[in-house]
Amino acid sequence: MTDDMQASDPGATPPPRFIGSEIYRHSSYGSWHPLRVPRVSTVMDLARSLGWLPPAQFITSPRAKPSALTGFHTPEYLSALQAAEAMQEVTEDVRQRHGLGTPSNPVFKEMYRRPATSAGASLLAGELLNHGGVIYSPAGGTHHGLPDRANGFCYLNDPVLAIQSLRRNGARRIAYVDIDAHHPDGVEYAFADDPDTLQISVHEENRWPRTGQIGNAGKGQVFNLPVASGLNDTEMRLILHDLILPLVADFGPDAIVLQCGADAVTEDPQSRLTLSNNAHWAVVAALRPLAPRYLVLGGGGYNPWSVGRLWTGVWAILNNYDIPDVLPPTAQGILGALTWAGPFRQHHPEPHWIATLRDVPRDGPIRDSVRANVRQLAGRRAVWR
């Protein structure tokens, strides 16, 4: 369908839309924090360098006002978060009550404005998907935030706000799928007893926040699959086809929210899972036909090269673009200019982190524990139906 045809047909589904912002380009949690690395700005730059992000598909994210965030967060917490940004310090009472000014959730220059921008994107996405479509917000996915406190690098919980926005805009049954290496404790807290929200999480067992044990189902539709370190692409393929897709198809959602955290790949320092980015892209592609509304969020990801490549590939998958075997010089220049300095060492990229988007597949044997846990949850599915 041409642009002219879309313009003349108000009922036509628009092409996928990308919500981003320049606030992420120079914002950092601090020189020592895992979120010191650029992520969203790299995805924006790579997508544009490849001709994949024309202005018509890009939306500048609004910044959510505090009143728009009270569907999940308390007014007292939001006031404390804004005050901490303004003063650039917190009292011990605020630190203890609201989790601000901690090593995980430090005081930094944009500590309200940055998460309020990603939350604004999720709120807007729910409105824009009123009549269907696909939206990508790589800055989203802050799935640990709690109503009255910051938690796990997350000051606000934009996935919860996205689900609430989708529901206000006509989506009754919503499937939330999370493939971040860490369990989405804040999202489960919000919807554990909601029968109209299906939650599926695949996360590393015994990894912070050490929640989401298999069988932790609440009273709603919660399916947690903790996996041992070393999860490979073959095992993830089994999980996708034998658990995730059947669950979502049976649930029949009006909308799907996918949290596509990039910290489950081999190169990421915050997990011991060993996926390639092909595994994430397979999930992105497979879920798309299962609901008329599709929102894909980012999440974890702490190696600037692997997260930038993975999330740029997500945008390619959503648009059915062919991913080149070798990146053009402009794209290689963007990746080559990234740095990853830490308190104790300077990280240097592997050659393929500069030259390509696609990882070599990381297939392997399917361990008995993975088969058994998938079978156990699939058995719950039979009862659930």
* pLDDT tens, residue by residue, 127-178: 999 999 999 999 999 999 999 999 999 999 999 999 999 999 999 999 999 9
Domain spans in the chain, listed from the N-terminal domain onward: 13-384
Neighbours of 87 (CB within 10 A): 11
Q: In what order do the strands lie in the sheet with 293-297?
A: 58-60, 17-20, 133-137, 293-297, 255-259, 174-178, 197-204, 221-227
Q: Measured on CA atoms in the order 130, 134, 137, 140, is the torsion positive or negative?
A: positive
Banded model confidence at residue 383, pLDDT cuts 50, 70, 90: low
Question: What percentage of residues in the chain have a pLDDT greater than 90?
Answer: 90
pLDDT for the residue numbered 12: 73
**Third-level CATH fold of 13-384:** Arginase; Chain A (3.40.800)
pLDDT for the residue numbered 94: 98
What mean pLDDT is predicted for residues 47-58? 98
Two tokens at 351?
Answer: 């050659």
Q: Which of 98, 144, 183, 203 is catalytic?
A: 144
Two tokens at 311?
Answer: 């999330």
What mean pLDDT is predicted for residues 251-279? 98
Catalytic: 144? yes
pLDDT digits (tens, 9 = 90+) for 314-329: 999 999 999 999 999 9
Question: Residue 385 pLDDT > 60, yes or no?
Answer: no
Q: Please name the residues in contact with 165: beta carbons below 8 A apart, sequence gap of 6 or more.
A: 122, 123, 124, 125, 126, 127
Q: What is the dihedral of CA 362, 367, 370, 376, to 10 degrees?
A: 150
Q: Which of 123-132, 202-211, 345-354 has the lowest mean pLDDT?
A: 345-354
